[in-house]
Structures are given as structure tokens and as C-alpha cells.
Structure 1
Amino acid sequence: MSEDYRFSSQSPPAPKKGGREKSSANDPHGRPETSSFLSSEQASEDLEKVSHPINLEDAPGLAVYFGDRRSDLAVEWLLRLIPDCPLGKVSESYIAPPSLQTAILIFVCSNDPTRMIRLFRLYKEVLKRKLLIAVMNRSTPKDRARLLTVGFDDVFDGRTLPLEATVRVNARLRRLAEMNIIKLGPSTCDMQNFKHYLLSDRENVILAKLCSRMDKPVSQNILLNEIHEHYGHSNRRSLHVMLSHIRKKLHPDYAIIYSRHDDSYMLKRICNDD
């Protein structure tokens, strides 16, 4: 990695007496600039102490990020730890890369815990059998508590030493493997032939229902009841939005057709043969 990389090259300013520390103008969450991040030289020296680096052959990994500057800093820190870690961008509409399905070790890089929590909740069924680690540019105790409470397994930031991060990841992987938690189980619904991109949990529920009645109409009320059974109340407008997202993620050989006559949807194979 380039020797020019720095999380921060300056010491944090001393807080003013008799008042609260002002929020950073660059951070919408008001986190104070109080972190003494590692320099390139410090990180390199600590990496030399790592005797057992993280092996992505044993545990396929993926780092997802949101494409903003703060995410980029977290990604740079992670790539110093695992230079060959694959990267995948999460879109503004929270469409995650398909490799999220097969990876075992997932790093979510961002400095916005709210976005990371929303990503986790959208893909909870996919992520619950993974080792999920948040990587932040900087974090507060409140940030780390929120992420760990919702379901993340660990939180790293720019102050985390590479040696410590490596040992923590390897220890968690070893324990999860011993408990048979990180083995990927069979899919609850054989939908892999239909999906071209990864679906959220609610989208998976809808597609599973359509798959179970392939080439047959499924009324909107049945789909709404299916969502209600798993996640609580939903409405027609949100159902239409989810179906629109599913259409964009379907394999090109399949389509979801709406029938105004009976207010229903049908999953149908499109014949592309010449």
C-alpha cells in the first residue's frame, strides 16, 4: 500500500474548557475528532508481527462499502489488513452484490452506523450465518454498542491494531467453525435459477411464493398475507415497490407479469430461443 496513506496525521485539538466539544463539520453524526489513528509506519510495523494472517481460502471474504469518502477510508484500512479481500459496492437503494450470498467473512465499511444497521436488517436471513464485522473510519462507544446489539460480531476502526484485528477475526472464525455455525446450509427455497442479483429478506419471501406457484396467478392479497406472516403489516404500495425491485433483480429468462383482471402476479419463464 502507498506510504502516503493516513487516517489522520494531526493530533486532535484540545477541547475548550467550560463547554461541550463541537461536532465536526465533516461528520453528520457529530463525532468529535478524537481518534489518534495509526500512521503507515505504525501499521506496517504491527503487520510484521502477524504470524497467522487471515486466510480467505478457508473462509471466503467480502468487503462491502457505500461509495462515500468515509467508506473509502475504512476500505483502505481493511486492504492493509487483507490486501486480496474482494470488494463489492452497495447501491443507494441498498442492492448488495451477489457474492454476499456465498461469502463467510463479511466486512461492512462505512462511518454511518445507521446505514450499516439498515443493510443488516434488509439481508438478515443471509447474514445471520456469517461472521459480520463493521469497519469504521472512527467510532464512538455508542456506535459500537448499536452495531453489536443489532447483530454485528465485531467493530474495527482506524485505531484497531492490525495484529489485534487479525487475532480477533481468526478466533471468531475458529469458534464459529467449531460450533458449525458458519457452514452454509441448503437454501430454504430453490430460487437460485430465478435470481440474478441478491434479494432482501422481504423480496425473498415474495419471490418464494411466486416460485411455489410458477406460471399460476398469485393475488396481491396472498402476497400481502405472506409478508404479514413473516414481518407484520404491509400495504399495496410497499408491495408494488418490492415487486419492482424484484423485477430488476430477476434472471433475464424470467418475468413477473401483472394481471389487472384478477389483480394478481405471475412468475413466468420467457422463451428466448430463436
Structure 2
Amino acid sequence: MMESIKKLREMTGAGMMDVKKALADAGGDEDKAVALLRERGIVKAAKKADREAKEGLIVVKLSDDAKKGAIVEVNSETDFVARNADFQALVQGFAASLLQSGASDVEAFKATSGQGGETVANELAAAAGKIGENLVLNRTAFIDTDGVVSGYVHSNGKIGVLVELEGGSAELAKDVALHIAAERPRYLTRDEVNSGDIEKEREILTNKAINEGKPQNIVERIVEGQLGKFYEENVLLEQKFVKDNSVTVGKMLGGAKVRRFVRFEVGA
């Protein structure tokens, strides 16, 4: 009995009395006892679900052939937990599982198997019960390409990027990912810019020019010039490349093409 208690405590991180009770309730069956502890962990996690999880960690995983990439964001209540080795191992495991499963969204991913054999949802709930904080699987993304995919995670684990390129190298894709992490583009091309965003920006700039007393006949020209600045700041291909401000990202790419990118930032 003591050997089983020790084993299950090491496996689950649960307290001695919790393990002892679970074993008793399971009739000594270790697998059933683990299941009971996980279920009870889910109950504990549910009670914490109304507490905000604004901290956390982002992890990127890439296949060796640069054809697949996965990015996962898991949030915690405190930065202390986000820096905890067990929490970091959990998120690393989730990213590896997503790279294997290729799940299309968070809910689909939760139903897949994690590295420990349980579903991702159950592993998350068990970790929340063990750690004692509300943990939230906030966002995921998976890319499977016939081009190349690369990624970048800022050293603090708070910003992560995946980039898919056509006609370029993994090294080039990584440079683009680093740029995206630093410069926060909202769109890939001008065509993707929401018309509502442009009209709102145009209205703000027009009112600003009028309030500054600019002549009515040149207000439109001023606004169009300033809209160009908006595109330069928000459209990836028109941004100045972070490693060389003499060229735009579009020019730096040469013959390569960015198909898509994903940028996650904890708390954003």
C-alpha cells in the first residue's frame, strides 16, 4: 500500500491523504486511483475557472523537415507559475502533441491525446489541480505546408510567431518570424486591411487636419499621405525590415512569398 501511495504521489503530485483516499475508493487499483485523482483535479480546477489567467507561456515546435509548425499559448494566473518548470514542461508537451495531431483549433486539440496518454483537456485540468491556479489553453495554430515553415519565440516566452513561406528557406522564414515578433504587423498585404479600419483611420486623420487649420483643398492629399504611413506601420510587406531599415520586408524577401503568419502575445 505504501509503495502504491509513493508511486501515485510522484505521478500526480497529489497529497498523501488524497492519494490514500483515491486508492481506497478504487479498491487498490492504481489506474483507477489516478483516474479518480484526475477527476478530482478537474473539480478543483473548475472552482478556479472564474479567476483571470493573464500570464502564461507560448511555445513553438517545428518538424525537422520544416514542413510543419505548431504554436500553443497556455495562460496562468501568475508569472510565478508561468516560470515554473512543471508548467513549462506541460506547455512544451502540448506543443509537441499539436505538432503530431495537427488539430485544427483549440477545442479539437483538447480532445486529442497529450504526451501522458490522457486527453489534453484532462492533462490541463490535472495540472491546474496540482499547481493550484486556473490554467487556460488560450490559442493554438498548426501549419502543414509544401513550402517551409519556421518560428520564433521571444526569450521571455511571452511572444511567439509561426511563418509559412513559398519559395524561400527556413532561415529566411525565421528572419521574417523575428521581424513579426518585434514589429507587430496586423496584416500581410494591403488587400487584407479591413475597410472599416481604413475608414476609421481616414476619419481621424481628416478631422485632425481640419482641426489643425489645414486648407480644405489639401486635406484629402494630406490624409492620403498619412494613410501611407498607416500601411507602412501595419502591413507586413510594407514594414521596414527590422534587421535592415533600408528595405521593406517585401523587398527583403526577393522571390519568396509569405503565405501566412501567426503571432501570439500573452495578454494581448
**More RCO (CA 8 Å, sep 6+):** 2
Q: Same fold (TM over 0.5)?
A: no
Rg comparison, structure with higher value: 2
TM-score, normalised to structure 2, is 0.29
TM-score, normalised to structure 1, is 0.28
More strand by share: 2
